[in-house]
Amino acid sequence: MGEVFYITTPIYYVNDVPHIGTAYTTLAADVVARFMRQQGREVFFLTGVDEHGQKVAQAAAEKGESPQAWVDSIVSHFTDVWELLNISNDDFIRTTEPRHARVAGLFIDKLKEKGDVYLGSYEGWYCIHDEAFLLSSQLVEGACPECNRPVDWVKEENYFFKLSSYQDRLLAYIEEHPDFIQPESRRNEVVSFINTGLADQSISRTSFTWGIPCPFDERHVMYVWFDALLNYLSAIDYGADDARFERTWPADWHLMGKEILRFHAVIWPAMLMAADLPLPRHVFAHGWLTVEGKKMSKSLGNVVRPADLVEEFGVDAYRYYFMREFSFGVDGNFSRRTMLRRYNAELANDLGNLESRVLTMAGKYRDHVVPQPGVPGGEESTLIDKATSTGLSAAGKLEQLAFNDALAEIWELVHAVNRYVDFSAPWALAKDEARSADLDRVLYNSLEALRQIALMIFPYMPATAEKMWDHLGQQDIESVALPAALEWGLLSPGTETSRGEALFPRKMEAAEDN
Ligand code: ME8
């Protein structure tokens, strides 16, 4: 069961345009998916959009359109951004698709038959923006604690899911699987929350119709979160293609922002328990990104769009910055200035210059042909050890979603290669015919180091890695299998290299003050 490596992002509300926060989760999932493919795993990487609920119905009504026409007209905002960011998702699920309605109906029927769904009445607060039922005690000055917006008093007949009866099983499961909810601080919050006592969860609505009808009572549509969580099953053909489902479920990682962890770490596992399905292996709640110290919001007008940054810095610099700057589990603050600094120091200078000078020397001194490796000396041994240990530890960090630490390690290797080149001074060796074999050795090992770096950065910066690969005369980086390809010395002497354009042209320092 679960041979396929299955990773998901939240399905985003379609009526918001993607910004750097939404893109953050999807980018992280893409890095993991690409890394796992490199390791030879079969991967299923899912993202998509959440199209039901009152918020979408209201937005459509304001535009004078049907909800379906409205969502159809804006879904490309998401698919376009994922394409721009070179996101390699294997599927894109929309909750208005028939495959999803089928699974949602099947699933709720199953819970109803089991006696875990019952008709009751709900009276309480509802935040349409967050699509969340709220207790009076949760309100902050009468408003939604998440978004500060006014809340509505709702009095409806609803179907309820017997969440309360899963409290003990959930706690036991979390206890027995310490790496189920990550990071640990969030896990502790979830445990405290469950310990305060779980109330049954309303899972249907009758006051509007934009949702999936409950098969046993068509007056009700499913509560948008109940429907949304099921996307993780509908995209892998639950109840239709059993063989596929068995190979893919459970998910290895559900990634999300911290504000929706409870849905994924409490309600979702209980739903799965009720349906007798295994729970996801890990759920990870990352921190929230602010912009220049402030929460992003339309009203403040400070929402940063990926396209603007990609236009200025390029897609791989975008990907690098967001994975390098922030620690995935905690909040982070975006600032253009730090992005520019990292661009110039780490991409243009450390990596870009290294690549360019090594390939320039290979061109100038060896007519673009990879020379013989020769016999490694002390300097080479140090370099080779560094590369080997970096390959292993950067992979280990990535597997723990410590992307920033993994990149920091890879950059230590970049620094080590820069030092190796400086120390070995090929330009001096080139002046002395008697040292031709030494020059061969230094050039070979510098080029081999670039080959290794290209493989290591591939999940983060696929296009840059591909350019480096191409400059080194290699083909098809996507099909190279790790860790075997990280054996030192696989670059064949005699291979033709090329210089190409600078990977990251330096940006004007003056622009830093903008
Ligand atoms: O909650 N910083 O959708 P959503 C970091 N449809 N991440 C951020 C962010 C920020 N400032 N803002 C948003 C929903 N995100 C539901 C999900 S899943 C079954 C249903 C990211 O459009 C983060 O991943 O509000 C967060 O969890 C997600 O966007 C919320 O997206």
What domains appear along the chain, each with residue ranges and CATH number? 336-513 (1.10.730.10)
Tell me the C-alpha distance between 223 and 154, whole Å. 13
Q: Can you tell me the distance from the alpha carbon of 159 to that of 442, in angstroms, rounded to the nearest whole number?
A: 71
Q: For position 509, what pLDDT does the model report?
A: 65
Mean pLDDT of 420-435: 97
**With the C-alpha atoms ordered 112, 113, 114, 119, is the resulting torsion angle positive or negative?**
positive
* Separation of CA 256 and ligand 1 centre (Å): 7
Report which protein residue has its CA nearest ligand 1's atom 3.
12
pLDDT in the model for residue 147? 86
For the cut 80, the answer to whether the pLDDT of residue 302 exceeds it is: yes
Determine the residue type at 38.
Q
Supply the residue whose CA is at minimum distance from atom 21 of ligand 1. 22
- DSSP 8-state secondary structure symbol assigned to residue 349: I
- Report CA(152)–ligand 1 centroid distance (Å): 22
Token duo for residue 233: 């099953």
Residue 448 has pLDDT above 70, yes or no: yes
What percent helix, strand, coil does the chain show, rounded to 5? 55, 15, 30
Measured in Å, residue 395 CA sits from the centre of ligand 1 at 27
Q: Where are the alpha helices (DSSP H) in 183-314?
A: 184-195, 224-229, 231-234, 242-248, 261-262, 268-274, 306-313
d(CA 499, CA 487): 24
Task: Output the ligand 1 site: residues, CB below 6 A.
Answer: 10-13, 16, 21-22, 24-25, 50, 228-229, 231, 256-257, 259-260, 288-289, 296
Is residue 216 predicted with pLDDT exceeding 60? yes
Helix axes 378-399, 436-457, angle to 10 degrees: 0
Angle at 470 between CA 469 and CA 472, to 5 degrees: 65
Q: Three-class SS of residue 341?
A: helix
Looking at the chain, the whole-number percentage of residues with pLDDT higher than 70 is 99
Q: Which of 138-147, 157-166, 358-367, 434-443 has the lowest mean pLDDT?
A: 138-147
Instruction: Identify whether the C-beta of residue 14 lies closer than 8 Å to the C-beta of residue 389.
Output: no
Give pLDDT, residue 514.
44
Instruction: With cut-offs at 50, 70 and 90, classify the pLDDT of residue 510.
Output: low
What is the per-residue pLDDT for 508? 82
Over residues 339-371, the pLDDT tens digits come to 999 999 999 999 999 999 999 999 999 999 999
Question: Is residue 211's pLDDT more than 80?
Answer: yes
Q: Which region among 12-21, 157-166, 371-380, 437-446 has the lowest average model confidence (pLDDT)?
A: 12-21
Pocket test for ligand 1, best of 24, 26, 51 (most atoms within 8 A of CB): 24
CA dihedral 392→88→499→411, nearest 10 degrees, is -30
Q: What is the pLDDT of residue 208?
A: 87
Q: How far is CA 179 from CA 187, 281, 282, 313, 369, in A?
A: 9, 8, 7, 36, 49
Nearest CA to ligand 1 atom 16: 12
pLDDT confidence tier of residue 136, bands split at 50, 70 and 90: confident
Alpha helix segments (H runs only) across 367-478? 378-399, 403-424, 426-429, 436-457, 462-471
Cis bond upstream, residue 183 (ω within 30): yes
In this predicted structure, the answer to whether residue 493 has a pLDDT above a threshold of 60 is yes
Distance 18 CA to ligand 1 centre (A): 10
Instruction: Tell me what the pLDDT averaged over the chain comes to.
Output: 95
pLDDT band at 297 (very low <50, low <70, confident <90, very high): confident
Determine how β-strand 289-291 pairs with β-strand 5-13. unpaired
Residue 257 DSSP SS3: strand
Structure tokens at 130: 């967050």
Which pLDDT belongs to residue 481? 94
Atom of ligand 1 nearest to the CA of 49: 6
Q: Tell which residue, 101, 86, 35, 29, has the closest CA to residue 251.
A: 29
- Residue with the bigger pLDDT between 500 and 511: it is 500
User: Atom 19 of ligand 1 has which residue's CA nearest to it?
Assistant: 229
pLDDT digits 0-9 by tens, 56-112 = 999 999 999 999 999 999 999 999 999 999 999 999 999 999 999 999 999 999 999
Quote the pTM value: 0.96
Residue 511 pLDDT > 90, yes or no? no
Average pLDDT over residues 246-261: 97
Judge whether residue 485 has pLDDT over 50.
Answer: yes
**How far is residue 379's CA from residue 109's CA, in Å, rounded to a whole number?**
67
Q: Is 391:486 a contact under the CB 8 Å cutoff?
A: yes
Pick from 22, 50, 225, 262 the residue to mutate for probing ligand 1's pocket: most ligand atoms within 8 Å of its CB.
22
For ligand 1, mutation pick of 17, 25, 290, 302 (most atoms within 8 Å of CB): 25
Task: Quote the ligand 1 centre to 285 CA distance (angstroms).
Answer: 10
